[in-house]
């Protein structure tokens, strides 16, 4: 039975804080906060939480800022990553990306959609819950401003789970679920594809460029491998196809247990994203070549199946011991100087649509706003006609929260995926208000008695590396 809530009161409270949320977001945008350089925006967020009367505000050893409301034993967390990518070519921006100027409908600047807007909504939702006496009984609200997500999705939550809490079992026991505030274009998202960062190295032998036959050109070898990687991404999966494409995971023949979830999440992809080489000079044969592969994984694909897929490519087999296929590791120090080494592996995850924490957000949206996605006029071309419950195209911190540790996640956040990493990034003022209202209502409509054991439909397994 749904809790009796005054939904009009919740909407009115959110609207009343609209200008404050806009001002807070503009303040965050004014502090450049690329990955590993988030110190200033952390201080900005901490000060805002303290001003609003959070029960406790702290910065952990990695540099994540965490605000608490409530006194219960169980936790519902709302996560927003507060780092951004860079601005790229400044000439592509029509105005100062760090000014955070506003119009009647929009807030402009790097990080607005991706994803400091979510931090503004989450912070004020917790304030609203305190104001209205709507902190759910038995729960604490944990509002997280997480760092380094753009560099290494989920690493911040690996740190939280293993250093702030006493490991995965303790975190799973205490945290009921997590709302990710990544931009969702007005939808409620219950999963997304995983990803890996794969490296392929090829050995060659240098010689003078005037007599290339004396050497063994690593770039030529890599050219063959790149052609096979492209085929793996582009090919179909007919029996006659030598390199069967990744689309095969949508076929029950190749993915009998998870093809339906794969169709929901979308097929996996692979793309060559970087290329490196060594050579004694511009008039010499290259003696090594390496590529990075951005690999997106759908349901049914695992870290080892993706590595093996590259190792099984005809060109990789052809060059035998001269080829090494591996997974990148990540070890950049945080803005506090802390190193938390992990692998560049970000597991796929998906929830059942009927999961209690997903339904809490769906029920809240129906009560507050109806059954269709909403937004201001400039946003609706990407929202009208799309299902309310959907999935992200890109990756989020949920790869660790749910993908690694099995803590249930769900997504609803201000802004648009299309704005992420793009010049002239904007978010929408109305979205800040909508999200704050929905978080408040959803946390109060959540019914833990409706939890079932099949919340997670697919969660890719951990690797055999000693990584927590």
pLDDT at 458 (0 to 100): 72
pLDDT in tens, 209-222: 999 999 999 999 99
Q: Which of 48, 116, 149, 309 is catalytic?
A: 149
- Rounded to whole angstroms, the Cα distance separating 65 from 78 reads 12
Peptide bond into 115 cis (omega under 30): yes
pLDDT at 100 (0 to 100): 82
Three-class secondary structure of residue 343 per DSSP = strand
**Domain topology for 194-330:** Alpha-Beta Plaits (3.30.70)
pLDDT in tens, 167-221: 999 999 999 999 999 999 999 999 999 999 999 999 999 999 999 999 999 999 9
pTM for this predicted structure: 0.95
Cβ partners under 8 Å of residue 277, min gap 6:
218, 219, 286, 288, 289, 290
Q: 180: how many CB neighbours lie within 10 A of its CB?
A: 29
What is the architecture, at CATH level 2, of domain 7-192+348-459?
Answer: 3-Layer(aba) Sandwich (3.40)
pLDDT at 453 (0 to 100): 74
The residue with greater pLDDT, 144 or 460, is: 144
What sign does the CA torsion over 360, 361, 363, 367 have? Answer: positive
Q: Which of 38, 83, 176, 185 is catalytic?
A: 83
pLDDT in tens, 408-421: 999 999 999 999 99
Does position 1 have pLDDT exceeding 50, yes or no?
no
- Rounded to whole angstroms, the Cα distance separating 340 from 158 reads 9
Is 83 known to be catalytic?
yes
pLDDT in tens, 99-121: 989 999 999 999 999 999 999 99
Domain boundaries of the chain, sorted by first residue: 7-192+348-459, 194-330
Is 464 known to be catalytic?
no
């Amino acid at each position: 039975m749904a809790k009796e809530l005054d939904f009009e009161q919740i909407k009115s409270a959110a609207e009343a804080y609209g200008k404050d949320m806009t001002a807070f977001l503009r303040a965050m945008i004014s502090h450049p906060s690329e990955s590993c350089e988030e110190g200033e925006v952390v201080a900005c967020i901490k000060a805002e939480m303290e001003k609003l009367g959070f029960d406790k505000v702290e910065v952990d050893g990695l540099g994540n800022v965490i605000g608490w409301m409530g006194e219960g034993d169980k936790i519902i967390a709302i996560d927003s990553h507060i780092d951004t990518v860079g601005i790229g070519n400044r000439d592509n921006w029509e105005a100062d990306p760090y000014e955070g100027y506003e119009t009647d409908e929009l807030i402009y600047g790097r990080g607005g959609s991706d994803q400091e807007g979510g931090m503004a909504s989450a912070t004020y939702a917790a304030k609203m819950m305190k104001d209205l006496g709507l902190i759910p009984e038995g729960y604490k609200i944990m509002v997280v401003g997480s760092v380094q997500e753009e560099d290494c999705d989920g690493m911040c939550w690996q740190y939280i789970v293993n250093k702030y809490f006493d490991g995965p079992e303790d975190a799973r026991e205490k945290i009921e679920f997590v709302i990710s505030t990544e931009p969702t274009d007005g939808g409620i998202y219950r999963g997304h594809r995983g990803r890996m960062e794969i490296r392929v190295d090829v050995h060659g032998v240098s010689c003078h460029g005037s007599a290339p036959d004396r050497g063994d050109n690593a770039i030529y070898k890599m050219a063959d491998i790149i052609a096979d990687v492209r085929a793996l991404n582009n090919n179909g999966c007919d029996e006659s196809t030598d390199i069967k494409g990744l689309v095969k995971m949508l076929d029950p023949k190749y993915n009998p247990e998870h093809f339906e979830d794969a169709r929901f999440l979308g097929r996996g992809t692979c793309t060559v994203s970087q290329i490196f080489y060594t050579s004694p000079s511009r008039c010499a044969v290259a003696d090594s070549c390496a590529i990075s592969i951005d690999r997106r994984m759908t349901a049914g694909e695992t870290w080892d199946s993706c590595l093996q897929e590259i190792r099984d490519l005809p060109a990789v087999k052809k060059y035998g011991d001269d080829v090494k296929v591996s997974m990148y590791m990540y070890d950049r120090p945080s803005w506090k100087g802390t190193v938390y080494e992990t692998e560049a592996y970000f597991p796929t995850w998906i929830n059942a649509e009927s999961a209690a924490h997903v339904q809490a957000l769906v029920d809240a949206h129906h009560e507050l706003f109806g059954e269709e996605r909403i937004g201001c006029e400039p946003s609706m071309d990407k929202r009208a006609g799309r299902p309310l419950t959907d999935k992200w195209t890109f990756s989020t911190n949920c790869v660790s929260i749910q993908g690694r540790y099995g803590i249930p996640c769900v997504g609803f956040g201000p802004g648009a995926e299309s704005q992420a990493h793009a010049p002239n990034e904007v978010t929408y003022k109305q979205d800040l208000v909508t999200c704050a209202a929905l978080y408040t209502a959803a946390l109060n409509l959540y019914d833990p008695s409706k939890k079932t054991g099949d919340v997670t439909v697919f969660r890719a397994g951990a690797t055999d590396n000693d990584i927590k």
